[in-house]
Structures are given as C-alpha cells and as structure tokens.
Structure 1
C-alpha cells in the first residue's frame, strides 16, 4: 500500500488554526480530518491521538511565537522600545473584529484540569517570559529584569483577555502606559 504524502507543516498549520478557534475540548477528530484533508489512518499514523496532535500544534505555534519575539526584539533600537512595539501590536490585534487571543493563553485557560498539557503550555509561556527577562537584564539588574518581565507578561495576558471585553483601544493603551510606566511610550511614533 502506497504511503500518503502530505505537507506536515501545512497539516499542523490547519490543525493549529482549528484548535485555536474552537479549543481543545470542542475540536473533534472528525473536524481535524476535515480541516486537514487527511484520512483517519493518516492522522493517527503521523500524529498519534488528538492529545498528541494538539501538543504538536502547541509546539508549532509556540516555536513560531518565540522566533517572532526574538526577531522583533533583536531588530528594535532598544529592548524597551521593542517591548512597546510588541504591546502595541497586541493591542491592535485585540481590537480587530475577528480577534482570537493567543493560542497558548487560551489553551492554558481551557486546560486547567489537564496537568500534562497545561504544563507543556506553561513551559512555552515561561520561555517567553525568560526571553524578556534575559533581554531586560542587559540594562537592569537580574532581579529587576525578572520583575519587569513578569509585569510585561501580566500586561500581555491582560491585553489578550481584555480584548474580548472591549474594543476601546485608547483604554487599553492608557492602562498599559500606567502599568508599564518605565517603558519609553513617549518616544514612539504612535
């Protein structure tokens, strides 16, 4: 019997989008077969069960998010202005009509009672926080950098959740500026 050929990245992209929109619990294997265009045997052979495919989707999204973050922070003039730019992009995303928060955060909130999956997601979020902390430690002491990184993460989580609550971009921005007053907001062109 010939082996089915498919683009693994394309399948992961489609599965990740479905899990992201619908959530882990609401996504059926049938929906995954339909969105990926693969037969059940191909999905199970290539990815295992639903939990394994979800975990690989988390990896797919998490790695892309980390690569994006590192690239963004490397290209800005300072780490602080890079953080401002990222936060502004998150605010812009959160005020879009078709807003769908962050896949990692949404999944962590949904999977509160599923420890292994939740821990897998938490590891990515901790890695992201460590990237902020490491970059901030180039201009602040280690402990202050960790505190500032944690504050950035709290504000990102807030944007990601509060974006569902309101479309008031100005309200979110003023809250960010108040809570993260140490960032160079006045130096930005926005």
Structure 2
C-alpha cells in the first residue's frame, strides 16, 4: 500500500487556521479533513489523532512566532524601541474587524482544564518570554530584565484578550504607556 504524499506545512497552516478560528473543542475531525483535503487515514497516520494534529499546529504557530520575534530583535534598533513597535502591532491587530487574538493565548484559555495540553502551550509562551528576558538583559540586570519581560507578557496577554472587548485603539495605547512607563513611547 502506498503512502499519500502531501505538503505537511500546508496542512499545518490550514489546520492551525481552523483551530485558531473556532477552537480545539469546536473543531471536528470532519472539518479538519475538509479544510486540509486529507483523507482520515492520512491524518491519523501522519498525526495520530486530533490532539496530535493540534499539538503540531501549536508547534507550527509557535515556531513561526518565535522566528518572527527573533528577526525583529535583529533589526538595528534599540531593544526597547522594538518592544514598543511590537506592542503597537498587537494593538493594530486587536482593532481589526476580523480579530482572532493569539493562537497560543486563546488555546491556553480554552484548554485551562486540560493540564497536559496547558503545560505544552505554556512551554511555548515561556520560550517567547525568554526571548524578551534575553534581549532586555542586554541593557538591564538579569533580575530586572526578568521582571520587565514578565510585565510585557502580562500586557501582551491583556491586549490579546481585551482586544475582543474594545476597538478603542487610543485607550489600549494609553493603557500600555501607563503600565509600561519605562519604555520609550513616542510623544
């Protein structure tokens, strides 16, 4: 029996999009077969089950997010300016009509009652926070960098969740400036 060949990245992109939009619990295997174009046997052979495909989609999304964050910090700008730019971009995303938050944050909230999956997601979020710590540690003592990174993550989580409740860009920006006064906000 021959194995069906498919573009794994394309399948992960499509599955991630579906899980991200509707959530893990509301995503049926039938919807996954339809969106990916794969037959049930191919999905089960390649990913094991729905949870396996979900975990692979989280890894796919987290890897892309981490790569994007690392590239951003390689720009020839100050660490603090880059952080401001990132936060501004999150606000811009939050005020879009088709806003869908962050896949990791959204999944963490949805699957709060599933400790193993919650832990799996938390590892990716910790990897993102570690990048902030490492970057901030280039200009602050490590302990202060850790506290500032945690504060950034708390603000990002807040933006990602609160973005569903308000479309008021200026209020979100003002709140960031008030909560993170040590960043070099533009006048």
- 1:5 shift after superposition: 1.1
Scaled by the length of structure 1, the TM-score of the pair is 0.97
Distance in 1, matches of 2:78 and 2:145, equals 14
In structure 2, the residue matched to 1:55 is 55
User: Tell me, what secondary structure is at the counterpart of 2:182?
Assistant: coil
- 1:116 shift after superposition: 1.0
Number of residues paired by the alignment?
187
Task: List alignment gaps of at least 5 residues for structure 1.
Answer: none
Distance in 2, matches of 1:156 and 1:88, equals 11
- 1:122 shift after superposition: 0.2
User: Tell me, what secondary structure is at the counterpart of 1:164?
Assistant: coil
- 1:76 shift after superposition: 4.3
- 1:69 shift after superposition: 0.5
Deviations 1:137-174 (A, max 9, x none): 11000110000000000100111011100100000000
Distance in 2, matches of 1:186 and 1:44, equals 51
Within a 5 Å distance, the mapping from 1:58-137 to structure 2 comes to 58-137=58-137
Runs of 4+ in 1 over 6 A off after TM superposition: none
Cα RMSD (Å): 0.8
Distance in 2, matches of 1:81 and 1:139, equals 12
Scaled by the length of structure 2, the TM-score of the pair is 0.98
